[in-house]
Amino acid sequence: MDPRTLDELLIRCMRCGDCQAVCPTYQATRDEVAVARGRIRLLRAEAGGMEPGPKFREALSTCLLCRACTSRCPPGVEVDSLVMDARGRMAERDGLPLAYRLAFRILERPSLTRLAFRMGALLQGAVLSPAWKDGLMTPRRFVGLGGRAAPRLRAPFALPPGRARGGRGKVALFPGCLTNYVYPQVGRAAVEVLRKNGMEVVLPGSGCCGMPMLAAGDRAGAIRAAEANVELLGGVETVVTPCPTCALTLRERYPVFLEGRDSHDAALEMGRKTQEICTYLGGMELREGKLAGKITYHDPCHLNWGLGVKEEPRALLRSLGLELKEMARPEACCGFGGTFSLKNYDLAVQINDKKLEDIAGTEAGIVATPCPGCRMHIEDGLNRRRMAQRVLHPVELLAMGYGGGDAQG
């Protein structure tokens, strides 16, 4: 970012402190370094020539990039963009850790990513063992990692055979990494729901959206991932994704970080034609489905604060006849935040514990959420607390509803 633009953005913070009421890291720590205002103060000091020290690095590393502060901020300061930009400066200055560099180079190449996850699926039994919760695995004691649980890896997502019923048009599905490799059942459900509502679905073979690289400060990697997707999806009219973070990245971030490049016009076009799947389905006349059960809904930050989508997923769930029991703070962050939870697991658990209490308070057996990252972190928490609730994407519930039955069955 141009230093003058950075100065202009930083100066907009009027230090009102309104962000304290919604920032999940401040709510958990009560530390001024862990809130938008404190982070901006340190960024201003850096812009003024301060040498980045441990406090500065902590302020950057503990931001969830959730955008809750921007929703509350009177001048609308986009702290997530400022933090990502600063992480980019740190990465240029110090370099990224080897593990990140390796992971990002793999994520940039879909064929390599597929191979890596296939190998992971084959080898997971050697280092992981089944967790308390069905379908989750936890590292064996010698591996460490504090017993966190994650889904058992299965075969990656592939477009299921079949055709659309009705011929209402064509969409390209952009699954995103977590749907491709961790929750392929969500991709299959998305295809089933789209086809049963008359849409032909194509899978142009898209890779990572680039957000993991952008969040870690690997700007060049994010640009490569974005330009590959812009080219791959250039010929399609509508792109639909089941992942809110991918939707936010394709819709809003590509046009910003590809500015000034040849691909910028195509990025603007990508922004216009991409939709998160609940939003897309919410704008259609859908066939009727029916499902019994009591559910609650968690708002993913990138869908709620990022794209302003709150009602559409709830309307889809209600349309099935499900009983929606709202939790106390459905919009409160679950504590995932991508690499945030990898680097700051204790703080991520502290934030997650509040979400689990809110879920327990609803007595619902299902937590619906469209975000695969939130799902992974909430499932880890449910396993940690020995809570029996299942987490599902709204399109999985829709697909179940088209078969009829009980969501808890």
User: Which residues of the chain form contacts with ligand SF4 (CB under 6 A)?
Assistant: 13-19, 22-25, 35-37, 39-40, 63-69, 72-75, 77, 79-80
Query: Percent helix, strand, coil in the chain (nearest 5)?
Result: 55, 10, 35
Comparison of 37 and 133: residue with beta carbon closer to ligand SF4: 37
Q: Which two tokens stand for residue 346?
A: 């204790």
Q: What is the dihedral of CA 107, 110, 116, 118, to 10 degrees?
A: 140
Q: How far is the CB of 90 from ligand SF4 (least distance, A)?
A: 16
How distant, in Å, are the alpha carbons of 10, 12, 53, 293, 368 from that of 46? 11, 16, 10, 52, 41
Contact 298, 374 (CB under 8 A): yes
Compute the distance between CA of residue 207 and CA of residue 272 in angstroms, rounded to an integer. Answer: 19
Compute the distance between CA of residue 119 and CA of residue 140 in angstroms, rounded to an integer. Answer: 18
Q: How far is the CB of 358 from ligand SF4 (least distance, A)?
A: 18
Comparison of 22 and 295: residue with beta carbon closer to ligand SF4: 22
Q: How far is the CB of 29 from ligand SF4 (least distance, A)?
A: 11
Picking from 92, 248, 121, the residue whose alpha carbon sits closest to that of residue 181 is 121
| Side chain identity at residue 238, one-letter code | T
Q: How far is the CB of 22 from ligand SF4 (least distance, A)?
A: 6
Q: How far is the CB of 42 from ligand SF4 (least distance, A)?
A: 11
Q: How far is the CB of 226 from ligand SF4 (least distance, A)?
A: 21
Q: What stretch of H or E contains 293?
A: none
Compute the distance between CA of residue 276 and CA of residue 174 in angstroms, rounded to an integer. Answer: 10
β-strand pairing of 366-368 with 150-151: unpaired
Q: What stretch of H or E contains 171?
A: strand 169-173
Comparison of 44 and 294: residue with beta carbon closer to ligand SF4: 44
Comparison of 108 and 299: residue with beta carbon closer to ligand SF4: 299
Comparison of 67 and 298: residue with beta carbon closer to ligand SF4: 67
Q: How far is the CB of 211 from ligand SF4 (least distance, A)?
A: 14
Tokens 């969500």 found at: 186
Contact 111, 117 (CB under 8 A): no
Name the burial class of residue 370, with classes exposed (0-12), middle (13-18) and buried (19+) by CB atoms within 10 angstroms of its CB. Answer: buried
Q: What stretch of H or E contains 348?
A: helix 345-362
Q: How far is the CB of 113 from ligand SF4 (least distance, A)?
A: 27
Residue 15 contacts by C-beta under 8 Å, 6 or more apart in sequence? 37
Comparison of 319 and 350: residue with beta carbon closer to ligand SF4: 350
Comparison of 269 and 331: residue with beta carbon closer to ligand SF4: 331
Comparison of 35 and 91: residue with beta carbon closer to ligand SF4: 35
Q: How far is the CB of 334 from ligand SF4 (least distance, A)?
A: 12
Comparison of 20 and 206: residue with beta carbon closer to ligand SF4: 20
The dihedral of CA 138, 343, 277, 312: what is its sign?
positive
**Phi, psi at 57, each rounded to 5°:** -65, -40
Query: Looking at the chain, how many residues does it have?
Result: 409
Q: How far is the CB of 176 from ligand SF4 (least distance, A)?
A: 21
**Phi, psi at 46, each rounded to 5°:** -65, -45
Comparison of 153 and 333: residue with beta carbon closer to ligand SF4: 333
